[in-house]
Chain A
Amino acid sequence: MNFKLSEEHEMIRKMVRDFAKNEVAPTAGERDEEERFDREIFDKMAELGLTGIPWPEEYGGIGSDYLAYCITVEELSRVCASTGVTLSAHTSLAGWPIYKFGSEEQKQKFLRPMALGEKIGAYGLTEPGSGSDAGGMKTTARRDGDSYILNGSKIFITNGGIADIYVVFAVTDTTQKHNGTSAFIVEANTPGFSVGKKEKKLGIRSSPTTEIIFEDCRVPAENMLGQEGEGFKIAMMTLDGGRNGIAAQAVGIAQGALDAATDYAKERVQFGKPIALQQGIGFKLADMATSIEAARLLTYQAAWLESEGLPYGKESAMSKLFAGDTAMKVTTEAVQVFGGYGYTKDYPVERYMRDAKITQIYEGTQEIQRLVISRMITK
């Protein structure tokens, strides 16, 4: 067993850390306040090759691995969770299914511009009546000549409104449940496709989350991803890997909060000494640091398994479950360490706490992760 990261991985970490500090951190607070997505930040990530990390060069990527990608999402999320999820949804949720299930033409036409950062990707599965019960979706896709006509709507779409490419799921055979859905690649400028309501959220406010609507939206048949009836499988397999990206985001959020809390605790003097030297605070920081180490190891493990071509579904779910809970707990305690100051917007920790909560919900709630894990361990 070797826990040391390779030179390449350390270089990527350093590169992304510097980028995050210089280009992302300075505006993170105001972008959160204004609920503003900054395309320039995404463009700069593209210039650094960060928008197609795991994809081979022939598809516009840099041919690195899932671990490098996790490290990238982690380092971005350390300063801005919104930027972390923008990249995660783009890479794991939109890029991955095209990479795994796309035809050569689809990969050149859609994956390549996404990998180069020329286009942004998104993933549309959730509907008002089907969240955790994704199989209960109602959006339909009816074959008509050399097209499919899509009708329905999706909600809570990360990168909604800024994406050019949407990987969406619809029912092609209403007589079946799981085997009746198919996946489609829909371009934003397709007639009949529109972006609906933008959600006002507790956190990750500079990541746009919207409804998307299909009204007799005609999608070319060659935009079907994989085979007819394979949609649910593609959706679930995509989430298997996607949740590892969210785990990385959660680890980043937690680490950012811990760093801030530790620095403050060393500086803040009360009762004649830095509060870090009070057991009540020191022990808290120790627990926070320990949980983050464990969360990071779980996250890197799942990424390594995926890169090695080994099964990773259980480990990925574990990483998301543990890291999400860690982020929520660590950020809540980080605000506590800052006392009254932590409750104000002058300090970043209250933003981290608001951002952390979503990591327990999206890409499969903690409850769904437990279902996935328990099914696998009791098989």
Chain B
Amino acid sequence: MNLSWTQEQQMMRKMVQDFARTEISPFIEKMEKGEFPREILTKMGELGLMGIPIPEKYGGVEMDFPSYIIAIHELSKISATVGVILSVHTSVGTNPILYYGNEAQKQKYVPKLASGEYLGAFCLTEPSAGSDAGSLKSRAVVDSDHYVINGSKVFITNGGEADIYIVFASVDSKGISAFIVEKNTPGLIIGKDEQKMGLHGSRTVQLTFEDMRIPKGNLLGEEGQGLKIALGNLDVGRIGIAAQALGIAEAAYEAAVDYAKERVQFGKPIAHQQGVGFKLADMATNIEAAKLLVYRAAELRSLGLPCGKEASMAKLFASKTAMGVTTEAIQIFGGYGYTEDYPVERYFRDAKVTEIYEGTSEIQRIVISKQL
């Protein structure tokens, strides 16, 4: 066992912390009003942050998987919105092509995704297929050298901003298949922007496919391989979301500790009241446990070992921790925590979705229990 960070990983953490503080913090207010952080993503691309685990051969900086998780963790501490945009872009927007694409597809798309020139999105969920992804209804029909896709998707992160959409649709008699869809493809209709409780600067849209024609060469993997591709990449995606949740929890906890040490009532800082001190102790303990679960899953992944159970455990626990910690963090701030003058109410609103997307906590429990 070795619980110390490599030099590279320490450098990544510091670099991202500095970047987040100087480049992202000033933009928080605008993101809260719904503005998509396009400029921030451009700067991230310049720093190599949009292709952290991608091989150099395909335009990435080929750092280890834990370094990528560190980046999501530290970005999310300042902005869970930026954290999720990156996580979706890399884990489920780029990786499917990297792992299942043919050489031509990899050469065509991965370098641009890795550099940040292109933004990726992942389109699985439909109105009647959420947890039950396998029951999706979008259809892809062969028409000479094209597929024609009809259907709709919902809750697509980066939708409307992405250049590449990984789309899942059923090919009759073959089953669910994955397709690479470029933006502006005729028949790809960007629909409604969801108004969400949190993650305000992250665009979440509905998509409709109306006789959308894509070249046969854009089939990703084999026909019928789609669900395997989707669920296989969700493993990785879950570790990213777990890191996002961890970042949110840490940000809330640190704000609460600082406040509790400053705020004097009844003649002493409230941190010295057992009611508050014990609360902080519980928060800190859960965050430590979450951190270890997240980085343990990341390590297994980077070693190429099976990590499905560990990834689910990390996501389940870290998201639960984020929800619990942010709820208590507002509590520690008292009335002030309930106002928009302090960041804790934003952390609370952002935390909730980490228990829902990329597999609800209930689905995580199913994944875990099946492996016990």
Contact = CB atoms under 8 A, between A and B. Distances in A.
A155 interface: yes
B16 interface: no
A88 interface: no
B241 to A, nearest CB: 14
A342 B356 contact: yes
Residue of B155, B198, B339 with most chain A CB atoms under a 10 A cut-off:
B339
A328 B194 CA distance: 24
B334 A340 contact: no
B196 interface: yes
Interface stretch (A160-168, A292-300, A311-319, A358-366): A358-366
Contacts of B352: 332, 335, 343, 350, 353
A367 B357 contact: no
B197 A155 contact: no
Contact of B125 (A155, A332, A340, A342): A340
A167 B166 CA distance: 61
A84 interface: no
Interface in B211-259: none
Given A343-B356, A345-B197, A200 B339 contact: yes
A309 interface: no
A202 B326 CA distance: 13
A340 B155 contact: yes
Contact of A336 (B155, B275, B355): B355
Contacts of B196: 343-345, 350
Nearest to A134: B265
A278 B265 CA distance: 47
A212 to B, nearest CB: 14
A357 B125 contact: no
Interface in B343-369: 345, 348-349, 352-353, 355-357, 360-362, 365-366
Contacts of A82: none
A328 B328 CA distance: 11
Interface in A296-350: 328, 332, 335-336, 339-340, 342-346, 350
Contacts of B132: 270-271
A51 interface: no
Interface string B123-134: 001001111100
B329 to A, nearest CB: 11
B360 A336 contact: yes
A361 B337 contact: yes
Contacts of A328: 327
Interface in B187-225: 194-198
B349 A280 contact: no
B331 A360 contact: yes
B275 A367 contact: yes
A130 B154 CA distance: 47
A201 B340 contact: yes
B304 interface: no
B131 A133 contact: no
Contacts of B130: 270, 339-340
A156 interface: yes
Nearest to B361: A336
A133 B360 contact: no
Given A200-B340, A353-B197, A354-B197, A370 B360 contact: no
A272 B220 CA distance: 29
Interface string B103-114: 000000000000
Given A345-B197, A357-B338, A280 B362 contact: yes
Contacts of A343: 196-198, 352-353, 356
Contacts, number: 115
A199 interface: yes
A358 B338 CA distance: 7
Nearest to B360: A339
Contact of A365 (B125, B155, B334): B334
Contacts of B362: 278, 280-281, 336
A201 to B, nearest CB: 6
B356 A336 contact: yes
A126 interface: yes
Contacts of A269: 128
A270 B197 CA distance: 24
A132 interface: yes
B339 A199 contact: yes
Given A343-B197, A367-B273, A361 B356 contact: no
A323 to B, nearest CB: 16
A137 to B, nearest CB: 12
B162 interface: no
B44 to A, nearest CB: 25
Residue of A271, A339, A365 with most chain B CB atoms under a 10 A cut-off:
A339
A136 interface: yes
B26 interface: no
Contacts of B276: 367
Given A131-B335, A155-B335, A270-B130, A136 B348 contact: no
A202 to B, nearest CB: 4
B24 interface: no
Interface of A: 126, 130-133, 136, 155-156, 199-203, 269-271, 278, 280-281, 328, 332, 335-336, 339-340, 342-346, 350, 353-354, 357-358, 360-362, 365-367, 370-371
19 contacts: A130-B265, A131-B335, A132-B265, A132-B266, A133-B265, A200-B339, A202-B340, A270-B129, A335-B352, A336-B360, A343-B197, A343-B353, A343-B356, A353-B197, A353-B352, A354-B197, A357-B330, A361-B330, A367-B331
Interface of B: 125, 128-132, 135, 154-155, 194-198, 265-266, 270, 273, 275-276, 323, 327, 330-331, 334-335, 337-341, 345, 348-349, 352-353, 355-357, 360-362, 365-366
Given A281-B362, A343-B353, A353-B352, 7 more contacts: A131-B335, A132-B266, A200-B339, A201-B345, A280-B365, A280-B366, A343-B352
